[in-house]
Structure 1
Amino acid sequence: MALSDALEAPCLPVPASGRFIAAEHHFPLRVYFEDTDLSGLVYHANYLRYMERARSDMLRIAGIGQRAALEEGEGVYAVTDLQIRYRRPARLDDDLMVVSRVSQVSAATCAIQQAVMRGEEILTQGDISVAFLTPQGRPRRQPKPWIDIFSRLMRGEDIHP
């Protein structure tokens, strides 16, 4: 099959995407060689990347259009505070799950608790706060529909955009 035929095929796989189970977002991933250091363990900064991907996916499937807000000049989210606890290392080929839960919301900010897990075992936990900023970097109110989505998630309500 030619590459052009493959690109037009209707059954091409799509990137892995998380999903909500109740109000928690579950984002699956696998540890690749590039994620590890010389000891074969996941390099500490890569847990932050895993959490970022999971948060971005959570927002997207909840109906929060970050790209549209950026392109329309409304604003962007920026991490304002981060606390992370490393408990156990992940290794090459591990299947991991990043579980994310909204824990607080205000007019301009949102807090999200995240855990990187291998099965039932918590490997890393993070508490992340983000603020919605203008393109010039000043805090600004989040769009009201987004606050409503975050509030529903924080109350433990299921999200089906």
Structure 2
Amino acid sequence: MSNPDVPYRGAFVGAEHHFALTVYFEDTDTAGVVYYANYLKFMERARSDMLRAVGINQREVMARGGGAYYVADVTIKYHRPARLGDDLLVVSTVEQIRAAAVGIQQRVIRAGELLTDARVTAAFLDANGRPQRQPKSWIDIFKEIASVS
């Protein structure tokens, strides 16, 4: 039995990181449909959880004056709306690894039905907002995630 005082954490299923959530009233518009920008929030939570799951601690690196990931580009396609009370799954997959960025596909799914599909480029920037190389150990982690079948 899980501890109700511990926040939910997603998990990897092969190369995919799964992060489940429920649509609450605050996520919807007056018609009870998820407001389009909230899908980006759902995806951000899932990406942050994915990094935590593989041991990438952005907070620690930022505290030492190092860099952090920032969304540099998002391409998103909305297929179907989610509604109040729906249980959703955000599936994240590392698709591309570059020296100073990582490309991640993220899909929001309801009971096997694709609702939203996005490609996110997260650039690694220094404290002044300039691109810098990701730590090699992080690149190695991304390569390992991307190669799992």
**1:153 Cα deviation (Å)?**
1.1
**1:119 Cα deviation (Å)?**
1.3
Matching of residues 20-31 of structure 1 within 5 Å: 20-31=12-23
Query: Who is 1:45 aligned against?
Result: 37
List structure 1 runs of 4+ shifted beyond 3 angstroms.
none
**Cα deviations by residue, 1:87-114 (Å, 9 ceiling, x for unpaired):** 0000011000000000000111100000
Mapped to 1, the partners of 2:4 and 2:16 lie a distance apart of 28
Mapped to 2, the partners of 1:78 and 1:140 lie a distance apart of 12
SS in 2 for 1:53: helix
**1:12 Cα deviation (Å)?**
4.7
Mapped to 1, the partners of 2:4 and 2:14 lie a distance apart of 29
Query: Who is 2:69 aligned against?
Result: 77
Mapped to 1, the partners of 2:134 and 2:9 lie a distance apart of 25
TM-score by length of 2: 0.96
List gaps (5 residues or longer) in structure 2. Answer: none
Tell me the amino acid that sits aligned with residue 52 of structure 2: R
Matching of residues 95-110 of structure 1 within 5 Å: 95-110=87-102
**1:32 Cα deviation (Å)?**
0.3
Mapped to 1, the partners of 2:62 and 2:75 lie a distance apart of 26
Mapped to 1, the partners of 2:77 and 2:25 lie a distance apart of 23
Mapped to 1, the partners of 2:101 and 2:139 lie a distance apart of 9
- Higher Rg of the two aligned structures: 1
Query: Who is 1:135 aligned against?
Result: 127
**Percentage identity across aligned positions?**
56
SS in 1 for 2:21: strand
SS in 2 for 1:44: coil
**1:155 Cα deviation (Å)?**
1.3
1:152 and 2:136 are equivalent in the alignment: no
**1:16 Cα deviation (Å)?**
1.2
Mapped to 1, the partners of 2:118 and 2:58 lie a distance apart of 22
Range 11-20 or range 71-80, more displaced: 11-20
Query: Who is 1:125 aligned against?
Result: 117
List gaps (5 residues or longer) in structure 1. Answer: 1-10
Tell me the amino acid that sits aligned with residue 123 of structure 2: A
Query: Who is 1:88 aligned against?
Result: 80
What count of residue pairs does the alignment treat as equivalent?
A: 147
**1:23 Cα deviation (Å)?**
1.2
Tell me the amino acid that sits aligned with residue 94 of structure 1: D
TM-score by length of 1: 0.89
Mapped to 2, the partners of 1:92 and 1:20 lie a distance apart of 26
SS in 1 for 2:49: helix
